[in-house]
Structure 1
């Protein structure tokens, strides 16, 4: 026994020294398109064994689900393809190989597949906002819930804002180039970009499509100083059961403007409450519901849209009093925290911008910004210590009068100076060639007559 054991040890040492030690190959599993899958997708598992080329292998696959190991009977090749997967395909998968000469490899590490019981859904968001003026920039962002790997995205639009709940009538956005990034950006919005948008994602082979996203309207309007949208009370957020009045007023004494709105569908605001008198069209809602939340604007008979504003209706007891129209740089801005019932004994309120508390510029239940700049643009809300926080509202800031920079002034002078110099030279020349004529009365003040 001792001699046999010693002989075995000496044989192992000899083989090691002579380089004859044989390394055991190990299998590695890769997954396409992702380990996180959705019901109905196709997934491909591939088993790779790092060994000498031209070695022929047979493969076996196993899956561990519900505390038991099972052989994946439909997978006997290097690629294990499973179509139309469901929740029951969730589990940990391993593979191993065996060569034709009887060599076996080490089993792969387990790879876990998670299959959701539902089809993939997409979410469409707009930044910074869905109502814009010509020339503004806007980005549509499409995301797949609970997943971010391997997707390509497509955007669709319908330029008519009516019947938006129906999928018919949507066309592929021809200039969209989001691809795998999931973003579609319009750097300079034009009136033609007005419409309703939705997105969809796809991946895999065969191609797997997600559900279409919910629809997102986008308004791009022109600039007009003759038509105004008047809102009473003049704020973005309103309590339910309150009343609201919106008026389109045309200062050129022309007619044909109507208050329109988009909530879930496009409609006149609402048709039973519209009153037109002369150059003014008024929409009055005597008792607001949360379903009245939406975008309201003035529209001409020819379909021209102006001054879109966001109006939101809330059942809570705290709202933020913020302006509905953009604030101009340099102007002042005052925000109030409003309460549905009687005001609390302590009127101290906290104000937040983009989720962070504003530490100064607040007094009691109001916040005052004396000089607004572009940096003040963002989402605002307020909160009373004894009550819930208000919803968020976006405050937009537009450019006001801008001072001419030194570089622009220098460029201007360089462009103007040659013409100014020529003018001075001509005037001087004419002055030299002028004749002095005295009046018959002999007054000493000369009168010049140019000979130019």
Structure 2
């Protein structure tokens, strides 16, 4: 039995057991959407494993992190989801940085072919530039729902944003804000704002969306399009810590008055609506990181249940303070506060020093206090013994 090792310039290796007569050029690679090795906090990222070959074999895929072996597999993380050759990450965190591998396998009468990709390394950073706007702010839509996507304002008059989308077949379609044409996405342009793309949700509109220009890109958001019976709507982007988050159990049809909400598979509560309808909402006030997780909802009789939707909570960061520092009023207020703090510290130290100096050096009348004799104390026994020994030793020395 022969073992053949083939490697390419891109670090791709293929192991064939046993050697077959096929001369197809087998290559496996991992593509990242949005393209690039740098991903941003709280956005959605998709990794796609692809085998380039002339055959139509059905491949089985396995994913690995940090080490491409059978021991270190994908971590047990609810934000990391594997579906065949697709590896998606919801709401990227700092811990998601690292190397990723995929392995493709197939078996037939001639043997087993195992292909291992080269490492794909992701680095995580925080995006301070404006991101795209999604209205309504939810990643889950019903077929026929109207939603709008707006790219940030161009940095200069000569530049323009390009809205990109990866379709379910992983093709890329674009919308150019300069030409004000949404035809590739089969939508229309809002009359008030030329940079807004208005879409009527269809299956082809599912996928990742992000904006690009000459300076870089925005965060990517993943949109799913469903035909029912119920979807769980959570905010599309991270909710600031301390604010309120509105969750919605949205039904395809019918009138509903109660819904049960779950977090990470555990029942939270049952919420009632004052009037029957398709939407039953749950408001979480003063959200913290403890509220972060996957949410789903179900009808009162539990016959209708939604898929899970992630709620992300953004903690306070120094970057937000730095971005706020571009406002002149921010700097003026900061300088006043710092000056006030320095004056307060100086006053505290001044009066503390004056009080200590007064108590240790000055008398209440400003005159020196008369010296007082120390009270007589009884001599300690050990002192007497020590004195006697010293006297005896002196006598001995004098006689010598």
TM-score by length of 1: 0.44
- Greater relative contact order structure (CA < 8 Å, 6+ sep): 2
TM-score by length of 2: 0.49
